[in-house]
Amino acid sequence: MIGSLRRRLTGLYALLSALVLAVALGAGAALEIRTLQRADGQSLLTAAQAVAGQVGKGTLSDHWLEEQEQASGCLFYLEDNGVPLAHVERTGAADLLTERAMEQCAALQPGQSQVFSYKTQEGKTYRCAALALVSANLRQSPRLLLALRSAAGLHWQIGWTVAKYAVLWVGGVILLTAAGALLARIALKPTEAALRQQNEFVAAASHELRSPLTVIGSSLQAAEEDPERRDRLLAVARAETARMQRLTEELLFLAGQDAQILRLRPQMLEPDTLLLEVWEAWQAPVRESGRTLTADLPEEPLPPVQADPQRLEQLFGILLHNALDYTPKGGQIRLAVKAQERTVCFSVRDQGPGVPDTDKQRIFRRFARGESSRTGKEHFGLGLSIAHQIAVLHGGKLWVKDAPDKGAEFCLELPAQH
């Protein structure tokens, strides 16, 4: 799916790049071709005007005309009383003219000039710069002065220009397509990661839900076949139902977080009061489990925090459940809070086996379990992920470190309201 989307985006980018480059380079090529045509026509007209100036002086020799023709790369056509000069007959310039070209030149008024292209009888294209010279006798028609040049050189320049811009277009399309492919890959990386995470999430959730459903189904079937064990089997089914309900609630929380529909109800809370309430609520269940729960409060007053009390209770419940699972009987769980420069730091310390350094980041991912808890079916690998999301929602952070003596210490840091 991602590969197909990447190819489509790259193709669309290549198409748009080709169109934009075609318009831009086409305009550039047209401008350069027009400049070449103007320069070619202007060079012909300049050569014709040089001859016209010499005609006005009355000193025009064949040798001088030959020099001008070699310098400008053209042939001159000049009439005297309607008769072409002998030089014109010798160079063959008269043979290059057609009736249509002469008609176009004859339409010029005295003093006018024109540059145009025409084809000879052999099909060759020539460029012509025509001047209508003013006769000394106003009753006579104007004398024609033509400068003729083959358009082959101009056509070669135009062809080279077109080829140059075509190469630029092809190269530009290739480079921009490669850049588009790279940009598409970079742009789709978050989508690819999100899709992969979603697929992993669905696969892991399906796996976790399959286990309690299998146990419930087999327990109910066994209860029907063995009435003597019905009560115990029904108790197993109820326990698995409660386990599946808890998993469903955790999945709904994470789905709500992904959809960004979870809303906090923050209020100003006193950190020491919050910690004491958590300690009082968990004192009895911790004592019944054969462990002890202590709370360490600083003597100096703590700055308040702005937080949702229900979400923080949920977070501390996850951390305390985790501590109970790993602290051996007779062990101690410690709650603490202290003020830092701009934050208030809560901590939950257990006396379990601790968390390996390789797992300290991974255990906050969804469906991730530490090495020592892989076999415990009560752990879905969602609790710490939910706790981490709650901390992020409050603008804080949650991490784990090694306890000073033994075990793990989970630290929650929230912004202080000074």
Model confidence band, residue 3 (pLDDT cutoffs 50, 70, 90): confident
In a domain, 238, yes or no: no
What is the percentage of the chain residues whose pLDDT exceeds 90?
A: 32
HSE-up (13 A, CA, CB side) for residue 362:
10
Looking at this protein, which amino acid is placed at residue 315?
Answer: L
Last residue of a domain, one of 159, 188, 211: 159
**274 and 128 within one domain:** no
Q: Confidence class of residue 332 from pLDDT cuts 50, 70 and 90?
A: very high
**Per-residue pLDDT, 261:** 57
Euclidean distance between CA atoms 350 and 56, whole angstroms: 113
Strands (E), 303-354: 305-307, 332-339, 343-349
The one-letter code for the residue type at 284 is A
How many domains in the chain?
2
pLDDT-derived band at 125 (thresholds 50, 70, 90) equals very high
Give 179-213 pLDDT, tens digit per residue.
888 888 888 788 777 777 667 666 666 666 676 77
pLDDT of residue 414 exceeding 50: yes
pLDDT level of residue 117 (50, 70, 90 thresholds): very high
Are 154 and 271 found together in one domain?
Answer: no
Q: Mean pLDDT check: name the lowest of 94-98, 144-148, 176-180, 186-190.
A: 186-190
Integer Cα distance of 220 and 259 in angstroms: 36
Q: Which two tokens stand for residue 333?
A: 């769980």
Residues 152 and 272 occupy one common structural domain: no
Residues 274 and 404 in one domain: yes
Ramachandran angles phi, psi of 247, nearest 5°: -65, -40
Residue 290 covered by a domain:
yes
Q: Give yes or no for residue 336 having a pLDDT over 90.
A: yes
Examine residue 218 and state whether it is found in any structural domain, yes or no.
Answer: no
Confidence bin at 139 (pLDDT 50/70/90): very low
Asked if residue 148 and residue 279 are part of one domain, the reply reads no
Q: Do the domain assignments include residue 36?
A: yes
| Tens-digit pLDDT profile for residues 305-330 | 999 888 898 889 889 988 988 899 99
One domain for residues 275 and 139: no
Helix (H) or strand (E) holding 64: helix 62-72
Enter the pTM of the model. 0.53
pLDDT confidence of residue 41: 92
Amino acid present at 398: L
Q: Is the pLDDT of residue 136 over 80?
A: no
pLDDT for res 385: 82
Higher model confidence: residue 45 or residue 383?
45
The CATH number of the domain holding residue 112 is 3.30.450.20
Contacts of residue 243, defined as CB under 8 A and 6 or more positions apart, other chains included, come to 212, 378
CATH number of the domain at 401, please: 3.30.565.10
Q: Which pLDDT does position 374 carry in this prediction?
A: 34
153 in the same domain as 6: yes
Residue 174 is assigned to a structural domain of this protein: no
Of all residues in the chain, the percent with pLDDT exceeding 70 is 85
8/147 same-domain check: yes
Of 142, 159, 176, the residue at which a domain comes to its end is 159
Q: How many CA atoms lie less than 13 Å away from 52 in the CB half-sphere?
A: 23
Distance (Å) of CA 309 to CA 125, 271, 366, 391: 91, 11, 24, 12
Q: Tell me, what's the pLDDT at 369?
A: 53
- Cα of first residue to Cα of last residue in the chain, in angstroms, is 50
Shared domain for 152 and 280, answered yes or no, is no
Q: What is the mean pLDDT of residues 160-168?
A: 95
Residues 144 and 280 in one domain: no
> Which pLDDT belongs to residue 386?
81
Q: Tell whether 248 is covered by a domain.
A: no
Residues 12 and 143 in one domain: yes
pLDDT tens digits along 47-82: 999 888 887 776 678 888 888 989 999 999 987 766
Angle between helices 271-288 and 309-326 (to 10 degrees): 40
- 283 and 153 share one domain: no
pLDDT digits (tens, 9 = 90+) for 269-294: 999 999 999 999 888 888 888 999 99
Residue 350 to residue 322: CA distance in whole angstroms:
9
Evaluate whether residue 357 is within a structural domain.
Answer: yes
Q: Which of 125, 159, 193 is the last residue of a domain?
A: 159
Residue 60, Cβ density class (10 Å: 0-12 exposed, 13-18 middle, ≥19 buried):
middle
CA dist 389 and 412 (Å) reads: 12
Domain that holds residue 34: 2-159
pLDDT tens digit string along 360-401?
Answer: 888 887 666 554 443 344 445 677 888 888 898 889 999 999
Q: Has residue 227 got a pLDDT over 70?
A: yes
How far apart, in whole angstroms, are the C-alpha atoms of residue 232 and residue 235? 5
> Is pLDDT larger for residue 337 or for residue 418?
337
- CB 88, CB 94: distance < 8 Å: yes
> 404 lies in a domain?
yes
